[in-house]
Structure 1
Amino acid sequence: MKKMFTLVVIAVSFSIPALAADEATAMDLAKKNNCLTCHSIDKKLVGPAWKDIGKKYAGDPAAAEQLALKVKKGTKSTWGPIPMPPNVTVKDADIKSMVEFILTLK
């Protein structure tokens, strides 16, 4: 039992820095691509909070692909009357990284 507890503690200690790195990367990408003009992690600004997006799409296996497409092409009426403009100049890899982080939030 003690060995198992030690393994769990070790596993958790390695996963926390990985999550922090993902958050740091996502926030750097969000700043670089002006996403934080309309979004934040935990508050609605012009667009929904990233946590609200994460909650809405939690458990949906197709969510990452769908959200990446919405970010790239823009949306209308998904979260209210204000549309999200297309983000055609944002690199697909940047979108993928941010969407993957958003889907970890709940």
Structure 2
Amino acid sequence: MKKLLIPLFSVAALASFQTAVAVDNAAAEALFSAKACVACHAADRKLVGPSYQEVAEKRGDDVATVAQNIISGSTGVYGPIPMPPNAVTEEEATILAEWVLSHK
């Protein structure tokens, strides 16, 4: 009986984790759409700023740097057009940074 229950619980735990990740992605996308990010960025192509795929390639897993750039802005990282500071909380910036870096 134990041999049957352990794999069953493992599958259930994995399924609930995948659901939680999907909910986080949906929340991050809603946050992205509600903020000024959408005016200059897209997931898969350069607009005014770099695509999120380009940011993810360049930054890897550096959530802290991306979050700080979202909060404070940046200059010269992806070209001559500066990114202005954004009106986000640290928590929102971290959520957005994690979402951006998931676009690998």
Q: Scaled by the length of structure 1, what TM-score is found?
A: 0.78
1:22 Cα shift? 1.9
Partner of 1:31 in structure 2?
33
Partner of 2:100 in structure 1?
102
Q: Using the alignment, how far apart are the partners of 1:76 and 1:43 within structure 2? A: 20
Give runs of aligned pairs for residues 69-84 of structure 1, distance below 5 A: 69-84=68-83
Question: CA-to-partner distance for each residue in 1:41-81, whole Å, 9 max, x for gaps?
Answer: 1111111111221122224xxx1111111111111110111
Aligned sequence identity (%):
32
Aligned AA (1:29): L
| Greater helix fraction, Structure 1 or Structure 2 | 2
1:12 Cα shift? 4.8
Partner of 2:23 in structure 1?
21
Pairs aligned (count) = 102
1:99 Cα shift? 0.6
Aligned AA (2:32): A
1:38 Cα shift? 0.6
CA RMSD of aligned residues (A): 2.2
Q: Using the alignment, how far apart are the partners of 1:5 and 1:43 within structure 2? A: 41
SS of 2:42 mapped into structure 1: coil
Q: Which runs of 5+ in 2 are unaligned?
A: none
Partner of 1:46 in structure 2?
48
Partner of 2:90 in structure 1?
92
Q: Scaled by the length of structure 2, what TM-score is found?
A: 0.79
SS of 2:69 mapped into structure 1: helix
1:15 Cα shift? 3.7
SS of 1:83 mapped into structure 2: coil
